[in-house]
Amino acid sequence: MKSYEILKGYVEKINKDENLKKETKGMKVFQFKNDLGESYYLQFKDDGSAELIMGEHASPTVVLTAKEEDLAAIIDGSMDGTKAFFMGKLKIKGDPFLAQKLVNVVKKLK
CATH superfamily, region 2-105? SCP2 sterol-binding domain (3.30.1050.10)
The pLDDT value given to residue 38: 96
Nearest to 62 by CA among 38, 46, 41: 41
pLDDT in tens, 42-81: 999 999 999 999 999 999 999 999 999 999 999 998 999 8
Delimit the domains of the chain by residue range.
2-105
Q: For the whole prediction, is pTM greater than 0.85?
A: yes
* pLDDT beyond 90 at 83: yes
Task: Measure the CA–CA gap between 43 and 50, rounded to whole angstroms.
Answer: 6
Assign 104 a pLDDT band (cuts: 50, 70, 90).
confident
The order of strands in the sheet holding 39-44 is 50-54, 39-44, 29-34, 62-66, 90-94
The answer to whether 75 and 41 have CB atoms below 8 angstroms apart is no
Task: Measure the CA–CA gap between 102 and 38, rounded to whole angstroms.
Answer: 20
